[in-house]
Chains A and B, each alone.
Chain A
Amino acid sequence: DIQMTQSPSAMSASVGDRVTITCRASQDISNYLAWFQQKPGKVPKRLIYAVSTLQGGVPSRFSGSGSGTEFTLTISSLQPEDFATYYCLQHNFYPLTFGGGTKVEIK
Chain B
Amino acid sequence: EVQLVESGGGLVQPGGSLRLSCAASGFIFSDHYMDWVRQAPGKGLEWVARTRDRAHGYGTEYAASVKGRFTISRDDSRNSLYLQMNSLKADDTAVYYCVRVGDCSGDWCSPADYWGQGALVTVSS
Say yes or no: A32 contacts B115, CB within 8 Å: no
- In A63-103, the 8 Å CB interface with B consists of 87, 89, 91, 94-101
Further contacts, 16 of them, CB under 8 A, given A49-B113, A96-B111, A99-B44: A34-B111, A43-B116, A43-B117, A44-B45, A50-B110, A87-B45, A89-B45, A89-B111, A89-B112, A94-B50, A94-B61, A95-B61, A95-B63, A97-B47, A101-B44, A101-B45
Say yes or no: A46 contacts B45, CB within 8 Å: no
Say yes or no: B44 contacts A87, CB within 8 Å: yes
Which residues on A are within 8 Å of B, measured CB to CB?
Answer: 1, 32, 34, 36, 38, 43-46, 49-50, 55, 87, 89, 91, 94-101
Say yes or no: A32 contacts B61, CB within 8 Å: no
B interface residues, how many (CB within 8 angstroms): 22
Tell me the dominant secondary structure on chain A's binding face: loop
Which residues on B are within 8 Å of A, measured CB to CB?
Answer: 35, 44-47, 50, 61-64, 97, 102, 108-113, 115-118
**Beta-carbon nearest neighbor of A44 in chain B:** B115
B19 CB → nearest A CB, Å: 21
Instruction: Give the distance in Å from the alpha carbon of A46 to the alpha carbon of B50 in the complex.
Output: 18
Instruction: Give the distance in Å from the alpha carbon of A46 to the alpha carbon of B101 in the complex.
Output: 12
Collect the chain A residues with CB atoms within 8 Å of residue B97's CB: 43-44
What are 20 residue pairs bridging A and B, where the CB atoms are less than 8 Å apart in the complex?
A32-B108, A34-B112, A36-B45, A38-B45, A44-B45, A44-B97, A44-B112, A44-B115, A46-B112, A49-B113, A50-B108, A50-B110, A89-B45, A89-B112, A91-B111, A94-B61, A95-B47, A95-B62, A95-B64, A97-B47
